[in-house]
């Protein structure tokens, strides 16, 4: 009988060794999972920030080009002014489409997109926004003569341009992006 007790002690001793090994392995797996999650979250956050800064820079460049064209049109108008204005609108609407795409791919916060599109809605509906004497509506109508009229985001922007307030823009973004 003492041999059975001795074997039982060995078994218990072995179980404690395995418990320690299993505990260590579980701890290491948990640490690795947390490290991957933190790295992934940090990378996604940095990517979102990068997108936001890139969009801000692109918008600034569009506004500078528009301002330069406005100054030139006042000083010395030329037959190319309308085409130049349409090119700037082309960049502006392209930026809007890129921002919607970034939002759908989780690189842009919904509130940022809604705020931006609300601002664009007011520029469109106010009737006073112009680039080189070309109104926002004229720029948009010209945009719709290009292949962009067939783009998946065009119906959403058409609806946004009929809105009267931010809540309508937010509802349109939520409905249209949920459908895509």
CA distances (Å), 114 to each of 8, 31, 118, 165, 180, in order?
Answer: 69, 38, 6, 11, 17
What CA–CA distance (Å, rounded) separates 137 from 64?
20
What CA–CA distance (Å, rounded) separates 45 from 39?
10
Q: Is the pLDDT of residue 14 over 80?
A: no
- SS3 state of residue 127: coil
pLDDT tens per residue across span 15-61 = 667 777 777 777 777 777 776 776 766 666 777 778 778 888 999 99
pLDDT at 50: 84
pLDDT tens per residue across span 119-166 = 999 999 998 999 999 999 999 999 999 999 999 999 999 999 999 999
Q: Is the pLDDT of residue 180 over 50?
A: yes
pLDDT at 1: 46
**pLDDT-based confidence at 7, cuts 50/70/90?**
low
What CA–CA distance (Å, rounded) separates 44 from 107?
8
pLDDT tens per residue across span 75-124 = 999 999 999 999 999 999 999 999 999 999 988 889 999 999 999 999 99
DSSP-derived secondary structure for 141-173: HHHTTSGGGGSTTHHHHHHHTT--SHHHHHHHH
Instruction: Please report, for the chain, the start and end positions of each structural domain, with discontinuous segments joined by +.
Output: 49-179
């Amino acid at each position: 009988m003492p041999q059975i007790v001795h074997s039982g002690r060995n078994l218990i001793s072995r179980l404690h060794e395995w418990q320690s090994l299993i505990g260590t392995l579980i701890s290491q797996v948990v640490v690795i999972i947390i490290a991957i999650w933190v790295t992934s979250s940090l990378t996604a956050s940095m990517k979102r920030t990068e997108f936001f800064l890139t969009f801000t820079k692109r918008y600034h460049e569009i506004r500078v080009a528009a301002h330069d064209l406005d100054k030139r049109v006042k000083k010395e108008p030329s037959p190319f002014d309308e085409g130049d204005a349409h090119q700037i609108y082309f960049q502006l609407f392209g930026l809007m489409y890129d921002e919607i795409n970034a939002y759908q791919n989780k690189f842009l916060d919904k509130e940022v997109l809604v705020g931006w599109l609300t601002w664009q809605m007011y520029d469109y509906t106010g009737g006073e926004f112009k680039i080189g004497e070309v109104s926002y509506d004229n720029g948009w109508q010209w945009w719709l003569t290009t292949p962009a009229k067939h783009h998946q985001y065009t119906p959403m922007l058409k609806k946004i341009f009929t809105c009267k307030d931010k809540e309508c823009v937010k509802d349109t973004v939520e409905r249209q992006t949920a459908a895509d």
